[in-house]
Amino acid sequence: MIRDDRPGYWRRTCRLMAAALVVWLAAGLGLNLLAGDLGERIVFGYPAGFLLAALGSPVLLVGLAFWFADRQDRLDRDYGMAEED
Amino acid sequence: MASNTSGRSSFVDDLARVYWTYALSFAVFVTLAAILEQVGVPDRVLGYLFVLFTLGAYATIGALARTMQVAEFYVAARRVPGIYNGMACAASCLGGAMFVALPGVMYVLGWDGLGLILGLGGGLVLIAVLIAPYLRKFGAYTVPDFLALRFGGLPARLVAIVILACCSLAYLTAQIHATGIVLSRFLAIGFESAVVVALAAMLASTVLGGMRSLTWSQVAQYIIMAVALVVPAVVTAIDLYGNPLPQLALGDALIEITSMERELLESRLASPGEITPHLAPFATLGERNFIALAVCLMLGTASLPHIVMRFFTTGSVRQSRTSVAWALLFLLLLVTLAPAYAAFAKVEIFGSVIGSSVAALPDWVAHYSGLDLVAVYGLSVSGVETVMAGVSAAIAEGAAEHGAVAAGLDAKAAALWNGFGEPVRAAIFNAVSEDPASRAGEVWRRAILSAAVTSENYAARLPLAQFSIDRDAILIAAPEIAGLPYVFAGVVAAGALAAGLSTANGLLVAIANTMSHDVYYRTLDREASTAKRLVVSRVLLVLVACAAAWLAASRQVDVLSVVTWAFSLAAAGFFPALVLGIWWKRATSWGAVAGMLAGFSTALAILAVTRFAPEEGVRWLAMTPAPGDAAALAGRAIEAMVHLTPSPAISGQVGWFGVSSTAIAVIGVPVGFVVMIIVSLVTPAPSQAMSRFIDDIRTPRGRSHMEAERVAERVREFGRGRR
């Protein structure tokens, strides 16, 4: 369905931006601090905290970036705001 | 938009094939170099071959991508596919100093080093969500160009130019310095000559095609960087843990490190104060500085013009967003190897260096000691080598004991010689007099043995405190520790060179584009013809490069600290204006100018006070030295990061709330936001036309503002041609 609704489009874009930033904060700083709380505990033979900060956080951030690009793209097309190729 | 770009070279249409050919020919080249090494060609010749091959490749690409079109020169005609742009951006983000030092910083800091990974990665998400798509839609050539059009004219443009020039020039100088160091090690030439080589390489891959040459050579540089970091890490991971994924083998390495740390403490090879447990969170920086450093790097990444401008070149608004995601993937692919390198090095050092007999240290220790990167009991092979010539000369003249040597030494050797303990001097003297032809490595072994025995370490098992390793050696020595042939040391060095050049070129193009577009075309000569603008751009590119190279060659800089300052200053200056300019229609010209000035000057002032007058900061501005026990630790951390002497007075270890001065963006950015919002609210709201303009950049669909302007320009020029 194609709508031409600029304010609505921008409202949804803002909401997506806020959601992306919340996830960014959680997956970035939040996860690192949480991992800090886990400290030197070993889970399943691995130092969970360190790996969470060293690998979990980067993987989530990459996922977030691709997810955001995809959602915003869908939003653009839903509202007929996407570029014509 | 692609229809009117004549003269595009074949490789833009055929990228995958070109870069695969390039990567394969690099692999073939490395194999050939390995064969040459087996045949006995000296390392130095191999070094020259590496430099020739890689720099030659970048220069060729730069030349192939030459252009006579303004849009090609400034933004690669906006036809760069997202994935390639991502590679170029990753190469731009990871500078030469970071590339070499990151594993070493992780080695020293342990857990706290992870803040750097977060900082480098997190900023790109901010670019994707808040900035890149909108600037791409606007169609800017430079960051000041956007700020000037959004914030109505000259004052905003001038402030933006000043901020850009300050951050980017400082950063560029640091990058050229880092590249010069890599090159001088690689080619065994003096630092000044190395800077000249670096300068030539930079110009070769930028002058002819501007942004277009930059983009395609950065992709080539990323490929070398990736090979250089991935191959040794994978080989080590398989070797140590049978796991081809270094990031996963990291887990096993960490477990091993923890038990090794315990054993070192139990066997009294290390005292508790000397070991920062690798797994202990926030042990060195403290939680607050960890956050501050990460935030500052993130905001800086999102504001530094040479990174932001990478997203002006994508084919569409949509691609600018996916391109950031690719950039993040490519960047983190490399950066997450740093903790693995650090952990593998620690396993090797705690396992086979510390606690072994000083007479039987692994070969790599002596080798890198010969490059002055490793010292045992404060002695390095290169230091011993420096004094040996003088010692032999003294013996030849009939000196009977070591006391008679000092007189005949030159200044440098004498300083070293006098720094050695009595028994060490005796050991060196005896070794040389017994066999005048003995090699420095042998003499060094006897010297450290005697140093160990003198310090009542009769078992001669090396304690942790008596082993020191340069930050950079953690990465540089990795291939040799892993048992790879020497050529891989060459590959790592080529990677470091690529990292330095890619960032330096990015910065160079960012500065030169601003000078030629914002200063010359937009401000001084608005009627300049296309041909004239391109000539001016190229001349300015050369001038900026030469000026920065001259600065880099003539001044001693702590590369990593200059880099963190550049991040902080850019964030404080640009971040509020960029974000509010897009997301807040009520932001006014005066608000932006005031906000940029306030943020930037606050950050600059704090930097100046903490760096040059920390006592005044404490006395007048209620700053505190970084608190309690953390002060000493933070001092060590900063020392590890910037190679400064750890005196709290000069390493900037004063500040507010216990946050160190390397993270001044944490204060500068909020100041910028607050001032910009307040001033915007008290000045009249922007016009209707501005509101429509903002609506326009917020919508991906439709022609960009700049495209419309460019059409008008073309019509004007056409008219001029007819007359």
pLDDT in tens, A30-45: 998 888 887 777 777 6
> Which of A29, A51, A65 comes nearest B325 by C-beta?
A65
Q: Which residue has the higher pLDDT, B522 or B227?
A: B227
Distance from CA of B646 to the nearest CA of A (A): 26
One domain, residues B426 and B286: no
In a domain, B477, yes or no: no
The pLDDT of residue A61 is 95
With tokens 């009249």, the residue in question is B684
Least reliable range by pLDDT among B105-109, B200-204, B480-484:
B480-484
Inter-chain CB proximity B298 and A62 less than 8 Å: no
The pLDDT of residue B264 is 87
> Which of A39, A69, A84 comes nearest B322 by C-beta?
A69
Q: Which of residues 25-44 of A touch B (CB under 8 A)?
A: 28-29, 32-33, 35-37, 39-40, 42
> Which of B125, B287, B701 comes nearest A24 by C-beta?
B125
In a domain, B473, yes or no: no
Cβ atoms of B536 and B528 within 8 Å: the answer is: yes
Q: Please give the average per-residue pLDDT across B474-492, as a whole number.
A: 85
One domain, residues B183 and B296: yes
Distance from CA of A14 to the nearest CA of B (A): 9
User: A29: which chain B residues are within 8 Å (Cβ-Cβ)?
Assistant: 118, 122, 291, 294-295
Answer whether residue B392 shows pLDDT above 50: yes
b or e along B272-302 (b: 16 or more beta carbons within 10 Å of the residue's beta carbon)?
Answer: eeebbbbbbbbbbbbebbbbbbbbbbbbbbb
Least reliable range by pLDDT among B292-296, B348-352, B452-456:
B452-456
Cα–Cα dist A78/A51, whole Å: 39
The pLDDT of residue B594 is 95
The pLDDT of residue B617 is 62
The pLDDT of residue B718 is 66
Cβ atoms of B211 and B76 within 8 Å: the answer is: yes
Distance from CA of A39 to the nearest CA of B (A): 6
Find the residue in B nearest to A35 (Cα). Answer: B281
One domain, residues B526 and B452: no
Least reliable range by pLDDT among B223-232, B322-331, B478-487:
B478-487
Torsion of CA B384, B386, B387, B392, to 10 degrees: 100
A51 touches chain B (CB under 8 A): yes
The pLDDT of residue B638 is 45
pLDDT tens digits along B591-604 = 999 999 999 999 88
With tokens 């060094």, the residue in question is B444
One domain, residues B674 and B697: no
A76 touches chain B (CB under 8 A): yes
Q: How many CA atoms lie within 13 A of B167 on its CB side?
A: 30
The pLDDT of residue B646 is 32
Residue by residue, DSSP assigns B670-710 as HHHHHHHHHHHHHSPPPPHHHHHHHHHHH-SSS--HHHHHH
Inter-chain CB proximity A24 and B117 less than 8 Å: no
The pLDDT of residue B13 is 67
Inter-chain CB proximity A72 and B321 less than 8 Å: yes
Q: Please give the average per-residue pLDDT across B203-224, as a whole number.
A: 90
Average pLDDT, chain B: 83
Percent of chain B with pLDDT over 70: 88
The pLDDT of residue B160 is 94
The pLDDT of residue A13 is 92
One domain, residues B134 and B211: yes
Q: Please give the average per-residue pLDDT across B158-177, as a whole number.
A: 91
Answer whether residue B657 shows pLDDT above 70: no
Answer whether residue B351 shows pLDDT above 80: yes
Inter-chain CB proximity A69 and B321 less than 8 Å: yes
Answer whether residue B477 shows pLDDT above 90: no
Residue B572 banded pLDDT, cuts 50, 70, 90: very high
One domain, residues B337 and B368: no
Answer whether residue B634 shows pLDDT above 80: no
One domain, residues B319 and B393: no
Answer whether residue B584 shows pLDDT above 60: yes
Q: Please tell me which of A62-71, B372-381, B443-452, B661-670 the model is most confident about, judged by mean pLDDT.
A: A62-71
The pLDDT of residue A14 is 94
Tokens standing for B294?
């990460």
In a domain, B439, yes or no: yes
The pLDDT of residue B377 is 85
Answer whether residue B121 shows pLDDT above 70: yes
Residue B338 banded pLDDT, cuts 50, 70, 90: very high
Answer whether residue B587 shows pLDDT above 80: yes
One domain, residues B279 and B381: no
User: A30: which chain B residues are within 8 Å (Cβ-Cβ)?
Assistant: none
The pLDDT of residue A22 is 95
Find the residue in A nearest to B332 (Cα). Answer: A58
Residue B632 banded pLDDT, cuts 50, 70, 90: very low
Least reliable range by pLDDT among B189-198, B474-483, B612-621:
B612-621
Of B428, B462, B496, the position where a domain reaches its end is B462
Least reliable range by pLDDT among B111-120, B226-235, B550-559, B684-693:
B550-559
Tokens standing for B74?
């400034």
Residue B505 banded pLDDT, cuts 50, 70, 90: very high
In a domain, B467, yes or no: no
Distance from CA of B634 to the nearest CA of A (A): 18
Cα–Cα dist B357/B450, whole Å: 12
Cα–Cα dist B714/B179, whole Å: 41
User: B324: which chain A residues are within 8 Å (Cβ-Cβ)?
Assistant: 65, 69
CATH no. for residue B190?
A: 1.20.1730
One domain, residues B243 and B378: no
Q: Please give the average per-residue pLDDT across B673-684, as a whole number.
A: 94
DSSP three-state, residue B374: strand
Q: Which residue has the higher pLDDT, B323 or B396?
A: B323
What is the ipTM, given to two decimal places? 0.93
The pLDDT of residue B614 is 62
One domain, residues B496 and B447: no
The pLDDT of residue B279 is 82
Dihedral sign, Cα of residue B102, residue B108, residue B110, residue B113 = negative
Inter-chain CB proximity B318 and A36 less than 8 Å: no
Inter-chain CB proximity B325 and A62 less than 8 Å: yes
Instruction: Name residue B453's amino acid.
Output: V
Residue B335 banded pLDDT, cuts 50, 70, 90: very high
A49 touches chain B (CB under 8 A): yes
Q: Please give the average per-residue pLDDT across B631-656, as a whole number.
A: 41
Residue B628 banded pLDDT, cuts 50, 70, 90: very low
Q: 3-state SS of B265-276?
A: HHCCCCCHHHCC
Residue B270 banded pLDDT, cuts 50, 70, 90: confident
Q: Please give the average per-residue pLDDT across B385-396, as a whole number.
A: 82
With tokens 């910083």, the residue in question is B105
Q: Please give the average per-residue pLDDT across B6-29, as a whole number.
A: 76
Pairing of strands B624-625, A46-47: unpaired
Inter-chain CB proximity A69 and B324 less than 8 Å: yes
Of B402, B429, B462, the position where a domain reaches its end is B462
One domain, residues B51 and B132: yes
One domain, residues B668 and B695: no
Tokens standing for B378?
């404060």
Q: Which residue has the higher pLDDT, B565 or B580?
A: B580
Instruction: Name residue B678's amino acid.
Output: I
C-alpha distances in Å from residue B44, one per residue of B36, B37, B491: 12, 11, 14
Cβ atoms of B673 and B580 within 8 Å: the answer is: yes
In a domain, B475, yes or no: no
A66 touches chain B (CB under 8 A): yes
Answer whether residue B1 shows pLDDT above 70: no
Between A and B, how many residue pairs show a Cβ–Cβ distance under 8 A? Answer: 145
Least reliable range by pLDDT among B124-128, B574-578, B650-654, B688-692:
B650-654
Q: Which residue has the higher pLDDT, B270 or B22?
A: B22
Least reliable range by pLDDT among B168-172, B285-289, B578-582, B715-719:
B715-719
The pLDDT of residue B630 is 36
Domain that residue B699 falls in:
688-722
Number of domains in chain B: 3
Answer whether residue B704 shows pLDDT above 80: no
In a domain, B350, yes or no: no
Answer whether residue B615 shows pLDDT above 70: no
pLDDT tens digits along A53-71 = 889 999 999 999 999 999 9
Q: Which of B334, B699, B707 to mutate to test the interface with A (most CBs of A within 10 A)?
A: B699
Residue B624 banded pLDDT, cuts 50, 70, 90: low
The pLDDT of residue B483 is 79
Least reliable range by pLDDT among B84-98, B332-346, B540-554, B610-624:
B610-624
Q: Which residue has the higher pLDDT, A1 or B391?
A: B391
